[in-house]
Amino acid sequence: MVALLSLATLVCLPARGKILWSDPGSRVIHATPDGSDILGGKVKRDDKASDVLYFKFKVDPLSDAKDEPYAALFQLVESNQFRLGVGNALEAWGYSAAYTAETGPSNRFAEDAGEFNLRSAHPEAAAMGVRMPYELPDHNHPRTIVFRVQYVPGGDDLVTTWLEPNLSHGATAENQPEIITTKFKANASFDEIRLRHWGGGNGWIFSDMAMATSFEDFVVVRFWQTWWFFGLVALFVLSAVGGTVRVVEKRKYQIQLKRAEQQHALAQERARIAQDLHDDLGSSLTRISLLSNLLQADKDKPDQVAIHAGKLSESADQTVRALEEIVWAVRPGSDSLQSLVEYLAHFANELFENNPTRCRLDLPQDLPSKPLPPDVRHNIFLIVKEALTNVLRHAGAKEVHVRAKVSANSLEFLVQDDGRGFKPPPSPVEGRQHGLGNMRRRAETIGGTLEWQSTPGKGTTVRLAVNLANGTAPRNA
């Protein structure tokens, strides 16, 4: 029976011949306004194309767009020119498309051509109680996006998008709900695919990316929904019934004993099949998945394999670090000053490990037993994290000094470096200086103040001060 199950699994898995490209892994994309190609020239389409392609990807926003406006796109690129992008356009603030030939009727600014909000089954509430048809990215709600491009030679291509579509057994492009379906025109020619992020926020996690020639290639068929599974169940039932009949006919005088033996055997068989499904089928599917991924890699290009392996390792490290931060941020046992200071020390040491910039920590050991709400603790961490990351990326410093001062009703952090410094802008702008504005808004959210002093060639000092009242930090209404 085990062998039969394994053979049926291998033979009856859905054919994936129409999958043109896939990247099932996860990629953390942050502050990459231009992005880099992840397609490797495997597929391309120009203005002469006349076929249909389907694209799929899953996103997990690490920041709420309503709090920190930013752009994040799954971007088609042709000859280094940005074409259709799907994700979160900067002006739209919601799941949307960018670089389109039409302007969406619900865009934030009607005069901003080239952006089109995607319809959602979870629309946002706007002023005066009017519900808007789009959805703002929320780091607590990952979403899957599928879009279809019908290529029109010499003209704008026809694009249809589905936000969080039904991909279960029997789903098709035609039976998707209208409330999640958006149609518009755009130039969707490409020879590259890039993952882009710029503006505020902590970036997006892109995963489960693929390109196919039909919608059904993305549909997930569970093993219990296949014909062979029903056949095996029927065969098992028939075998059990036949065995029972034979036992009853041959040994009527032992009927009661045989019935008990069969019930026991049936229970054991069910347990064994369940274990086999878990062990054999699960491991087989995993091996098949790994083998299919390896077959899609640059198997004939050892240098490229090494490069991809390095990038995969780096992406894995970033994912582990992000996961560690999320777990620490939501763990109730971490809601204290002691936990905050200890984790900041751990983060700073890990960030500057094997880096020429020396990190000095001046953090108090004996801290008062003051609880901090999770959002306050997390915002403080993100502010200090942003300051340290700016030093690592931009300052070119020999040394960075992190200090913490705690009193009965106040908490203060200072991040001081001896790097190249910069001229502080009068207001937040794009790039690193935009991050300063985000840090200030986070400080205001928790009732604190953020100040920075910087002179070109003389380093930068960032000071965060938070008032503590009754063990918590007051927050603005």
Going by the DSSP 8-state scheme, the letter that residue 111 receives in this structure is T
Is there a contact between 453 and 460 (Cβ–Cβ < 8 Å)? Answer: yes
Q: Does one domain contain both 204 and 229?
A: no
**pLDDT reported for residue 52:** 97
Side chain identity, residue 211: M
Is there a contact between 363 and 413 (Cβ–Cβ < 8 Å)? Answer: no
Q: Does one domain contain both 164 and 233?
A: no
Query: What is the tally of structural domains in the chain?
Result: 3
The tens digit of pLDDT for each residue in 124-176 reads: 876 445 557 789 999 889 999 999 999 999 999 999 999 999 999 889 999 99
Q: Does one domain contain both 188 and 228?
A: no
Backbone angles phi, psi at 341, to 5 degrees: -65, -40
Residue 222 confidence class, pLDDT cut points 50, 70, 90:
low
Is 314 among the domain residues? no
Does position 277 have pLDDT exceeding 80, yes or no?
Answer: no
Range 232-249 average pLDDT:
79
- Residue 117, H or E segment: strand 115-117
Residue 320 confidence class, pLDDT cut points 50, 70, 90:
low
**pLDDT reported for residue 206:** 97
Is 307 among the domain residues? no
Q: Does one domain contain both 275 and 405?
A: no
- Token pair, residue 75, equals 């971007």
The span from the CA of 72 to the CA of 197, in Å, is 4
Residue 321 confidence class, pLDDT cut points 50, 70, 90:
low
Q: What is the CATH number of the domain that holds 337?
A: 3.30.565.10
**pLDDT reported for residue 458:** 83
Q: Does one domain contain both 48 and 126?
A: yes
Among all chains, which residue has been given the structure tokens 């990247």? 23
Q: What is the CATH number of the domain that holds 166?
A: 2.60.120.200
Is there a contact between 452 and 386 (Cβ–Cβ < 8 Å)? Answer: no
Q: Which residues form the domain of 141? A: 19-213
Is 301 among the domain residues? no
Cα distances from 418 to residues 125, 309, 383, 398, 455, in angstroms, run: 47, 35, 19, 6, 10
Residue with the bigger pLDDT between 223 and 159: it is: 159
The span from the CA of 158 to the CA of 188, in Å, is 9
Is 51 among the domain residues? yes
**pLDDT reported for residue 26:** 96
Q: Does one domain contain both 268 and 353?
A: no
- Token pair, residue 396, equals 């070119």
* Order of all β-strands in the sheet with 358-362: 358-362, 399-406, 410-417, 460-467, 448-454
Question: Among the three residues 172, 190, 213, which one is the final residue of a domain in this structure?
Answer: 213
Q: Does one domain contain both 202 and 262?
A: no
The tens digit of pLDDT for each residue in 422-437 reads: 876 665 444 445 577 7
Of 356, 332, 336, nearest in space to 344 by CA: 336
Side chain identity, residue 437: G
Q: Does one domain contain both 169 and 235?
A: no
Question: Within 10 Å of residue 164's Cβ, how many Cβ atoms?
Answer: 20
Question: Among the three residues 213, 236, 259, which one is the final residue of a domain in this structure?
Answer: 213
Does position 352 have pLDDT exceeding 80, yes or no?
Answer: yes
Q: Does one domain contain both 283 and 408?
A: no
- Token pair, residue 325, equals 């931060």
Question: Within 10 Å of residue 452's Cβ, how many Cβ atoms?
Answer: 17
Cα radius of gyration (the chain): 28
Kindly report the length of the chain: 477
Q: Does one domain contain both 114 and 180?
A: yes
Mapping DSSP onto H, E and C, the string for 423-476 reads CCCCCCCCCHHHHHHHHHHHHHHCCEEEEEEECCCCCEEEEEEEECECCECCCC
Is there a contact between 213 and 53 (Cβ–Cβ < 8 Å)? Answer: yes
Is 318 among the domain residues? no
Does position 473 have pLDDT exceeding 60, yes or no?
Answer: no
Question: Within 10 Å of residue 82's Cβ, how many Cβ atoms?
Answer: 19
Is 362 among the domain residues? yes
Is 204 among the domain residues? yes
Question: Among the three residues 190, 213, 236, which one is the final residue of a domain in this structure?
Answer: 213
**pLDDT reported for residue 387:** 86
Alpha helices in 129-277 (DSSP H): 227-250, 255-276
Q: Does one domain contain both 42 and 175?
A: yes
Cα distances from 92 to residues 86, 105, 109, 333, in angstroms, run: 12, 11, 8, 38
**pLDDT reported for residue 13:** 44
Is 48 among the domain residues? yes
Residue 264 confidence class, pLDDT cut points 50, 70, 90:
low
What is the percent of the chain where pLDDT is above 90? 32
The tens digit of pLDDT for each residue in 392-430 reads: 888 888 888 888 888 777 888 898 888 888 876 665 444
Of 396, 441, 9, 439, nearest in space to 222 by CA: 9
The span from the CA of 338 to the CA of 11, in Å, is 57
Q: Does one domain contain both 199 and 251?
A: no
